[in-house]
Amino acid sequence: MPRSFLLQDWFAFFGNGSEFNLTLSGEADFPNIVSPIADDNYGFCQEVEFNTTFYASPVVLVSVHHIYNPQVTMKSPVSPKNNIISAWVEEVSLTSMRICVKNLSGTGSKHDPLSVSYNVIGDLNPCLDVFCPSFGVCKTYSAHEARCVCNDNCPSYQDPVCTENGTTYDNECQYKLSFCKGLDNNTLYHSGGCKDICPSGWSYFSGFCHHTSDTCTNWTIAVKECRQENSVLADVNNNEENIYIQHRHNGDKSWLGLNDISTDGDFTWVDRRHGNFTAWAENQPNNLKEEDCAHALGVKHDYEWNDVQCSDCYQFTCKKDLDECENELNYCHKQATSTNERGSYKCKCNAGYLGDGFQCSSFFSAASSCGHRYTSSAFLFSLVNKLGWGPVRLTQQGKYSYYRSDSISSCSDSGPGFGGGLDFYIPSYASSTNSYSNLGYTYSPSSGHSYSSSFTKSFLAGSHIFRPDDIEVFYETT
Mean pLDDT is highest, among 16-25, 166-175, 439-448, for: 166-175
What is the predicted pLDDT for the residue at 367? 45
Cα–Cα nearest to 151, from 140, 139, 163, 167: 139
User: Cα–Cα distance between 290 and 183 in angstroms, integer?
Assistant: 43
Amino acid sitting at position 445: P
User: Cα–Cα distance between 122 and 249 in angstroms, integer?
Assistant: 63
What is the predicted pLDDT for the residue at 477? 45
Cα–Cα nearest to 170, from 194, 135, 149, 187: 194
Domain boundaries, the chain: 24-121, 137-191, 203-321, 369-477
CB proximity list for 231: less than 8 A, separation 6 or greater: 209, 211, 318, 319, 320
Mean pLDDT in residue range 104-128:
79
User: For the domain 24-121, what is the CATH code?
Assistant: 2.60.40.2080
Q: Which residues on neighbouring strands pair with residue 217, listed in sequence order? A: 314
Do 24-121 and 137-191 agree at the fold level? no
Query: pLDDT tens digits, residue range 45-99?
Result: 889 989 889 999 999 999 888 776 555 545 555 555 566 788 899 889 999 999 9
User: For the domain 137-191, what is the CATH code?
Assistant: 3.30.60.30
Helix (H) or strand (E) holding 339: strand 336-341
Q: For residue 439, how many other CB atoms are within 10 A of its CB?
A: 29
Q: Encode burial over 277-315: b for 16+ CB neighbours within 10 A, e otherwise.
A: eebeeeebbeeeeebbbbbbbbeeeebbbbbbebeeebb
Query: pLDDT tens digits, residue range 321-355?
Result: 988 888 777 878 888 999 998 888 889 888 877 77
What is the predicted pLDDT for the residue at 255? 97
Query: pLDDT tens digits, residue range 439-452?
Result: 777 777 766 677 77
Query: pLDDT tens digits, residue range 391-421?
Result: 777 777 766 555 456 777 766 556 667 776 6
Query: pLDDT tens digits, residue range 223-262?
Result: 999 999 999 999 999 998 999 899 999 889 999 999 988 8
Is the model's pLDDT at 309 over the cut of 60?
yes
What pTM was estimated for this model as a whole?
0.49
Instruction: Give the fold, CATH level 3, of 203-321.
Output: Mannose-Binding Protein A; Chain A (3.10.100)
What is the predicted pLDDT for the residue at 103? 78
Better-predicted residue by pLDDT, 6 or 326 = 326
Q: For residue 97, how many other CB atoms are within 10 A of its CB?
A: 21
Whether the CB-CB separation of 435 and 422 falls below 8 Å is answered with no
Q: Residues of the chain with pLDDT > 90: what percent? A: 25
Mean pLDDT in residue range 304-319:
95
User: Cα–Cα distance between 89 and 307 in angstroms, integer?
Assistant: 82
Model confidence at 198, pLDDT cuts 50, 70, 90, reads confident
What is the predicted pLDDT for the residue at 478? 45
User: Cα–Cα distance between 69 and 398 in angstroms, integer?
Assistant: 58
Is the model's pLDDT at 181 over the cut of 50?
yes
Whether the CB-CB separation of 105 and 83 falls below 8 Å is answered with no
What is the predicted pLDDT for the residue at 171? 85
Q: Distances from the Cα of 62 to the Cαs of 4, 5, 47, 90, 98, in angstroms? A: 27, 26, 14, 11, 11
Is the model's pLDDT at 192 over the cut of 80?
no
What is the predicted pLDDT for the residue at 13? 58
